[in-house]
Structure 1
């Protein structure tokens, strides 16, 4: 983490499985790309080619993962988009800095820093602008030559937060791009986090209504679980308490087609008979823990609001503050009839999570420093995007719970040459569940649609 060096590649490793040829690459990149002689990070990427085409001169497509703080998909578990992309490309799966096999950032590794200020200063280099600079270093390595300016451009496919990164890429280094595909990932270019979460809470309420319309019997069950949690100290298998407000966060599953129904099947196993009456089952508690724990993605919690930081204003726990404008989410006193019906929250991060989740507790002070930070650099160049010459095709999901449709379309109107496809056929994970999504975007890029 702290050795000074310029970008340096390690020997690649190639192997085959399930009809794929995979080559693992590791590259040392600067922590701060404005200080190339400073500390470095390991950047990992896996290049995937369809078997039988490994020696063909195929163009490369870089997959930019959603998140923030999520590692790239692994080939054995990748969504529907991968097999479709492999018909035309070599696909590059890059673990964004701090995730996967890139130098990790979690409660253990970050404990090496002397205090929260130092940790926050380090993590300030983990937003979209740094991810783009990492991608440019990787492009230079894979496409030939140590200087990315000498390497051919490549295609980028950005999903969700990966789409945010793609717009930063178009702002910071459009010369590295031949074309861009974005799915569920057009952020507001100039809005504050408050604008993002104010819209997000309204959409999340709408998804609650859809869920309970599909499963009307779950309302009484969800209320009963909340009442039980309000009146009892219930522990998940990890030993941490399941509070009502953490139970509400299971609504994050409403945002994708693959997981929309998962809460229903979790709730149906909620209660079992105990010696003193109904108790929450281990099956239910283990399932809740699997959704709610941030042990596998602490950067998601730390950076979820800082990814919107621009313009000199702190994010200041935006989701926590804006929640007060939506009393429907108030579950205080539900055991005594003081609130209800219960409504689940969605993709929001709250300061009290850093008191309840063991994976986040050591990072509480760091999260506070990041929430107060005001000197975030701009992530998007509006003027450069207005003069954009790179072809861009973007899927805008009409009922997307995670990315606001109106904000997305506002951004689409500001990027020259961006062609939006607005669809209500797919949820936020459309590109993962149906290869037709990428098919459509490829056809748009080719002028076939």
Structure 2
């Protein structure tokens, strides 16, 4: 498929409450199949803290989207070709407290206000929104703040809890992660002994990855983040096939582990704002994933060793060289008590924008129970509960997930369950 791309850049306020104050740049890539008469679809990807995907042209969901729309891929503020957040750029903000205050402007509320400002500059029409994962959180914020800018909304694996705390989210997700471990070990029973042996070795020996990061048991457990994708269990199994070289952990194994764990340098915002993406109103998250983990003592055993999921622990900022420069700032954000609201429940109950959402039954990153509750709250929302796909269903389904959601609105299908 031949696609045409166009680079667009926009100046937006750092703080939308101060439109005449400091500005930052936001980048977007417009993608078409040569037709400029189609309506716009804004794509907000997962995160927080990742740039929009760089299209190659053969992606199934991309082909499906370009059949009906001009696609706008937004590098959410702080990512990609937008004004970046890196250890160098953040250091220019001053003290750790000044850095934390700066980063409070990089959550979903600011991303949505960027998007609405961009829409007003690009078109007089409403546009369609597709939100994947964290992008779905942003979509619900958009429905709360600026529904007048939206003609329809598609959400894949990204319906957030509207009034839940970070603790509520992690209590549900830890249970799902336990189930993912059980399914993995049922599929690959030989991995039980292999993971146990690695954990025992790490307890008894100081091991470092090639980049100098200490490989602790907790860091090794973080490989469980793989288990939430379609091929993640298989990838973890292959990684565990030959972890030892005689009486030492194999160099090839350590290199593979580093590859899976070493994306902090390219996405520090993810680690800094992950728990903050759940924060609203009064109350600090207080390293919620770490605190709630204590309610699940099975993660502290090594027989069998349970891998963890999408949890950010404070020790990361002590042990990962890419995150160490952000340590003080991360702790300040974790203990920040005042956050803007992200959702307007009353407005969502009165919603008039057509919404279709894929809710993945065994989603390891977004709690299904909270997603379904939110779907019931948003007036007119059409949820599709499916066990056919994992969290990455949009990407791996060759366009089928997006096509299903489009059909649900075009054909007026009601709420559905599949798989």
Residues 118-148 of structure 1: per-residue CA shift (max 9 Å, x gap): 00000000010000011112212222xxxxx
Q: In the TM superposition, what are the counterparts of 1:90-169 in structure 2 within 5 Å?
A: 90-143=70-123, 151-169=124-142
Q: Does 1:208 align with 2:178?
A: no
CA distance in 2, matches of 1:107, 1:56: 39
CA distance in 1, matches of 2:54, 2:63: 12
Determine helix, strand or coil for the equivalent of 1:394: strand
Q: Contact 1:22–1:48 at 8 Å: present in 2 too?
A: yes
CA distance in 1, matches of 2:49, 2:242: 31
CA distance in 2, matches of 1:88, 1:283: 46
Shift of 1:79: 4.6
Q: Does 1:74 align with 2:54?
A: yes
Report what 2:267 is aligned to. Answer: 297
Gaps of 5+ in 2: 414-419
Q: Does 1:309 align with 2:279?
A: yes
Report what 1:400 is aligned to. Answer: 363
Q: Does 1:351 align with 2:351?
A: no
Distance 1:285 1:109, change over 3 A: same
Shift of 1:77: 7.9
CA distance in 1, matches of 2:145, 2:63: 30
Report what 2:409 is aligned to. Answer: 445
Distance 1:321 1:387, change over 3 A: same
Q: Higher mean Cα deviation, 283-292 or 397-406?
A: 283-292
Shift of 1:208: 0.3
Q: Contact 2:3–2:57 at 8 Å: present in 1 too?
A: no
Q: Does 1:287 align with 2:256?
A: yes
Distance 1:420 1:347, change over 3 A: same
Determine helix, strand or coil for the equivalent of 1:157: strand
Q: Does 1:33 align with 2:16?
A: yes
Shift of 1:340: 2.2
Q: In the TM superposition, what are the counterparts of 1:298-377 in structure 2 within 5 Å?
A: 298-331=268-301, 339-377=302-340
Q: Contact 1:319–1:349 at 8 Å: present in 2 too?
A: yes
Shift of 1:260: 2.8
CA distance in 2, matches of 1:379, 1:78: 35
Shift of 1:78: 7.8
Deviation above 3 Å: which 4+ runs of structure 1?
A: none
Report what 1:240 is aligned to. Answer: 213
Distance 1:55 1:437, change over 3 A: closer
Report what 1:45 is aligned to. Answer: 28
Determine helix, strand or coil for the equivalent of 1:199: helix
Report what 1:430 is aligned to. Answer: 393
Report what 1:409 is aligned to. Answer: 372
Q: In the TM superposition, what are the counterparts of 1:271-282 in structure 2 within 5 Å?
A: 271-273=244-246, 278-282=247-251
Q: Contact 1:258–1:429 at 8 Å: present in 2 too?
A: no
Determine helix, strand or coil for the equivalent of 2:307: coil
CA distance in 1, matches of 2:140, 2:108: 9
Determine helix, strand or coil for the equivalent of 2:369: helix
Aligned-residue RMSD, C-alpha? 1.2
